[in-house]
Amino acid sequence: MSQLKGGPPTRLRRASEDERRPDPGDRAAPPVRLAGLGLAVPPHELSQLQARRTAERVFGGRWPDFARLATSFETSGVERRYSVAPLDWFETPRTWPERTALYLESATALFVEAARNALADAGLAASDIDTIVTISSTGIATPTLEARAFAAMGFRSDLHRVPVFGLGCAGGVSGMAIAARLARAAPGSNVLMVSIETCTLNFRDDRLSKADVIASVLFGDGAAAACFTTGGDASAPAIGEGEEHLWPDTLGIMGWDVDAAGFGVIFDRSIPSFVFKRLNV
């Protein structure tokens, strides 16, 4: 409850879902368009064969089940990926401070490269950006990555910053939905979304688990950026309304365990059946 000076108390009311959702026929709510895209990958390219051989050296002699799981390197469909560190970096036990230091350095660099590429594709300058949505779940940065990239990018000092942590594999598409909503709420503004993940930094040689082997099979590092606006080229792709859904009792399916060494991946064996059942695949 709030009270205006000299007047009666004013009770704030939560808007209904219909009130919050823009009317597609309302000319005051122009469509949000994708103005530009940009990508960035780190310097170390890893073939799947290289990744398997490294995993064999790290896991093979200590865990009898590794040989059975190692076939996933061939059946995953992954041919190559990129890493912020060379392969030999992963053969030495790493502390959380070491992982975090490399995350801050490499994720900031990936942010800058992906953002610059997206801005160039959109024909925008960094000073044209009004809002930044930064997505990352594979490291912790405070101040956040867009603040660390501020000087290199040349953003305005009155920039709106929206850092988002914890969305995991859905981070990119969820970040696009967030950015589109913010652009829609401020017609004429330019919103930049940057998603950065450095999954390889969370490779754990101290945890002999199926989840850690499968993570070493699948994940790499990189960044992607997108510019959104309600102005610009009318032929650019329009972004529709995104939707999200939370299922109860699913906290243990995917995520992070956090311990003294850093993040430890959680992959429950129920993931495939959950996807087929809940998403009607």
Q: Residue 152, SS3?
A: helix
Closest-CA residue to 222 (of 97, 50, 44, 78) = 44
Partner residues linked to 263 by β-bridges: 258
Q: For residues 124 and 87, give the distance between their C-alpha atoms in angstroms, rounded to a whole number.
A: 37
Residue 92 token pair? 């030495």
Element (H, E) at 258: strand 254-259
Cβ atoms of 222 and 84 closer than 8 Å: no
Q: Which of 120, 169, 238, 275 is catalytic?
A: 169
Instruction: Retrieve residue 13's tokens.
Output: 């009311």
Calpha distance 281→67 (Å, rounded): 31
**Residue 169 is a catalytic residue:** yes
Residues with Cβ within 8 Å of residue 191, at least 6 apart in sequence: 129, 130, 131, 132, 133, 179, 180, 182, 183, 227, 228, 229
In DSSP terms, 133 is beta-bridged to: 162, 193
- 230 alpha-carbon distance from chain centroid: 23
- What's the first-to-final CA gap in the chain, in angstroms? 46
Q: From residue 61, give the alpha-carbon distance in Å to each of 64, 86, 176, 178.
A: 7, 22, 43, 46
Rg for the chain, CA atoms, rounded:
22
Q: Which residues belong to the active site?
A: 169
